[in-house]
Chains A and B, each alone.
Chain A
Amino acid sequence: MNSQALGALREALIATAVAFGLFVLMVGLRTDVSTTGALFLRTRWPEVAGLCALVFVGRLILSLWNLREAKPPSLALGKLGSKAAIVFAPALLGAALVLPMIPGIGRYELDLGILVLTYVMLGWGLNIVVGLAGLLDLGYVAFYAVGAYSYALLAQYFGLSFWVCLPLAGILAAFWGILLGFPVLRLRGDYLAIVTLAFGEIIRIVLLNWVELTGGPNGIGGIPRPSFFGLPFNMSGDPNSFAGFFGIEPDPVHRVIFLYYLILALALLTNWVSVRIRRQPIGRAWEALREDEIACRALGINVTTTKLTAFALGAMFGGFAGAFFATRQGFISPESFTFIESAIILAIVVLGGLGSQIGVAVAALVMIGGFELFRDLEEWRMLVFGAAMVVIMVVRPRGLVGSRTPTVALGTRRAIGAEHVGEGRG
C-alpha cells in the first residue's frame, strides 16, 4: 500500500512537471500593450504555481482513487446507460415538445434550441454512416452544404418554395452521397477518412470559387423564409398571413416557434427512420458490415450497394438539415460549411456513442448547448470544452452510451457491452 501511495506521488510529480512545462510559457508570460502603445512582457508566476498545484493535487487524487477502485467503472455506467435510455429519452422528448410553451423561454432560448436540434439531426444522420455502417466520414458537412445550396439556388433561380425544395435538397444530397460513395468503396479506415475529408473541402472550395452560380464568398442572400404550409409569417395581419388567418396578434416569435417545431419534426423523422431501419435487413447488414466486411461478402450481402445506401441515407438527412439551415438563416455562404462543422458533428457522434440515438442527442445538447452556456467564460470555454471531452473519453471511451441494443430477441433484449461491439474499419 505504501509503495503504491509512493507510486501515486511520483505520478503526480511527473504530471506536475509536464504541466509546468506547458504553463510556464503559455500562462507565465504574457505580452500586453502598455499605455504608451509599446508591447511589454508581463509575468504571471502565481497563476502558474496555482495551476501546477491544481494538477498535482488532481493527479494525486485520481491515482489514489484508481488504487481503491478494482473493477472497471464502465460496467455500472453501462447499466445506467440502458436504464437512462428507457426513462430519459421520453423525458427529453417531452421537454423538447413543450419547450416553446414554457414561460420565460424567449427568442434566445428558442434559437439555441433550434441550433441544438439541427446538430441532433446532423448527428443522427451521420450516425447512420459512422455508427451503424462503420464508415468513417470526415466530410459530412459537404452534404449539409449541398442541401443548403440546393434550396437557396432552386429558390433563387426557379422560385420554388421551401416545401418543394426540402425533398429535392434531400434527394440531391443523397445523389452526392452516392457519388462520393463510388470512388471510396474500396477504401477502408484512414484512407476512407482522408478521401471524405477531401470531398468536404472540395465541395466548399467549389462553392467558394464558382462565383457566377453561388456568389462565391459573398454567399446567397434573400433566401425565402418558410411559410406555414402556404401562409407566410409577416407583420401585416392580412388574412393570407399566418397571424391573420388564425386571428392572432402578429408576433415575430411565431416564425421562430414554427422553425423550432419544423426542425424537431425533421430530427424526429431522422430518428424514426434510423430506428426502424436498424431492425430491417439493410440495417442489420450495415451493422454486420461494421463488424466484419469479409463475413458479409461470404453471406451473399452485396457490400457495394449496402455501403452506398448508408452513404445516401446519411447524406439525405444532411441535405434536409442543410435546407432547413438555409431557410432559417436566410443567408448562406461557404463559411458555414468548413471542416470544423464536420469535426463537431463527428465529435457529437463519437461522444454520444457510435450507433446510439439517445447518446447522440445528449452529446449534441451538451456540446452545442454547453458551448453557448459557457459564452461568459470567453476564451476559457475552449479549455472547458476540451477538458470536458477528455474527461468523457477517459471515463467512457466508447461514448456516453457505448452498449448496443439487439435489434431482435427470442427472450429478453439485453444490451451488448461495448467490449464486443466493433467500431468499423471503414
Chain B
Amino acid sequence: MSASILSVEGLTMRFGGLLAVDAVSFAAQRGAITALIGPNGAGKTTVFNCITGFYRPSGGSLRLTRADGSTAQLETLKDHRITRAGVARTFQNIRLFQGMTVLENLLVAQHLVLNAATGFGIGALLGLGGYRRAEAAAIARASDWLRAIGLLERADDPAGALPYGAQRRLEIARAMCTGPQLLCLDEPAAGLNPRESDELSELLLAIRDGRSAAPTPTSVILIEHDMGIVMRISDHVVVLDHGRKIAEGQPDQVRNDHHVIAAYLGEEEEA
C-alpha cells in the first residue's frame, strides 16, 4: 500500500470553451481500490478517458508506476499503447464483441501476446509449434478467468447472448486478460441486481488481492454511482464535482464531508 501506481497531477481537459476537468490531482495506491465518485456531469468519465488514452489531456500529467519500478507518462501515449503500458478499462455501456464467443472475446484481449508469437503471421499460417503453444496458453488463461467469473460452461456461446450481469463480468475478465497493472472500471455495477452487485464486489476484492485468476494483485480505479459498493469495497475515494476535486479520503471520511453532501444533495455549503 506504500507506493502510488497512478499519480494524476493538474489534469485538465478542455472541450472548446467547456472546462470538463479542471486541474484535478489525486493518486491511486498500488494494491488498492480507488473510487471516483461525483454527481452526473462531474467529469469522472472524462478523467477516465484521459487515463486510458481515449482523450488527450489539455494539461497536466498522468504517471503510471509499474510493479518493477518503471514509469510511463500516459498523457503522451496513444490509446492502444496505454494498454501495453499496463492499463485496461471497461465501458459504461458494455462493449463486448457480441458476435464472437465468450472464449474468443478473451482471446482477442490477449492479442498482443498471441500476435507476437505468430512470427509475422507466417508461423501461425503454417501452423508451427510456437504459435500453437502460445494459443494453448492463452486458452488456458481464458478458461481460468471463465472459471473465476462462473462462465466456463458458456464459453462457446456468443457474448451477445449472455445475460446482462454476465456480460459485465465478462467485460472485466476481458480487460484482465490483457494482463494490466491497473484496471479502470466505468460504472461496473450499473444495471446489476443486488445479488449480482455482491458478486461483483467479491470479484473486485479478489482482483485487488490477487485471489482471482490473475496471479498478482491488480490495482483498481472505478467510477461508481452505487454508494453501497463504493463504501464497502473502496480503500480510497476521490470526489469530483463540476470538473474539480472537492474531497478525497477514506470512505467514512468522504461520507461525512459537508462539501460532498452539498454536491450530492444540492444544499448551500453553509447549511
Contacts and interface: CB of A to CB of B under 8 A. Distances in A.
Main secondary structure of the interface of B (DSSP, over half): helix
B133 interface: no
Contacts of A413: 156
Interface residues of A, number: 38
B139 A408 contact: yes
Given A291-B98, A406-B101, A410-B139, A285 B156 contact: no
Nearest to B86: A300
Contacts of B139: 408, 410
A16 B96 CA distance: 46
A195 B67 CA distance: 46
Interface string A273-296: 100110011101101100110111
Contacts of B95: 292, 294-295, 298
Given A280-B118, A281-B111, A416 B103 contact: no
A297 B79 contact: yes
A22 to B, nearest CB: 38
Nearest to B180: A300
B109 A291 contact: no
Contact of A300 (B84, B97, B121): B84
Counting chain B residues whose Cβ lies within 8 A of the other chain, the interface size class is 35 or more
Given A303-B80, A410-B156, A298 B101 contact: no
B262 interface: no
Contacts of A287: 97, 99-100, 104
Contacts of B167: none
A259 to B, nearest CB: 27
B221 interface: no
B155 interface: yes
A99 B2 CA distance: 74
Contact of A410 (B103, B114, B125): B103
Contact of B99 (A297, A303, A404): A404
A299 interface: yes
B158 A420 contact: yes
Contacts of A419: 160
Contacts of A404: 99-100
B88 A298 contact: yes
Contacts of B79: 297-298
B174 interface: yes
Contact of A414 (B83, B125, B156): B156
A302 B82 CA distance: 11
Contacts of B160: 419-420
Contacts of B91: 294-295, 298
A277 B111 contact: no
Nearest to A423: B99
Contact of B104 (A277, A284, A295, A297): A284
A72 interface: no
B108 A409 contact: no
A410 B97 contact: no
A272 B174 CA distance: 30
A36 interface: no
16 contacts: A280-B125, A281-B107, A284-B111, A287-B99, A292-B95, A297-B54, A298-B54, A298-B90, A298-B91, A301-B111, A408-B139, A411-B155, A414-B156, A419-B160, A420-B160, A421-B158
Interface of B: 52-54, 79-84, 88-91, 95-101, 103-104, 107-109, 111-112, 114-115, 118, 121, 124-125, 127, 131, 135, 139, 143, 152, 155-161, 174-175, 178
Interface of A: 273, 276-277, 280-282, 284-285, 287-288, 291-292, 294-303, 404, 406-414, 416-417, 419-422
The 9 closest A-B pairs by CB, nearest first: A300-B83, A421-B99, A291-B97, A420-B160, A295-B95, A281-B114, A281-B115, A420-B158, A410-B155
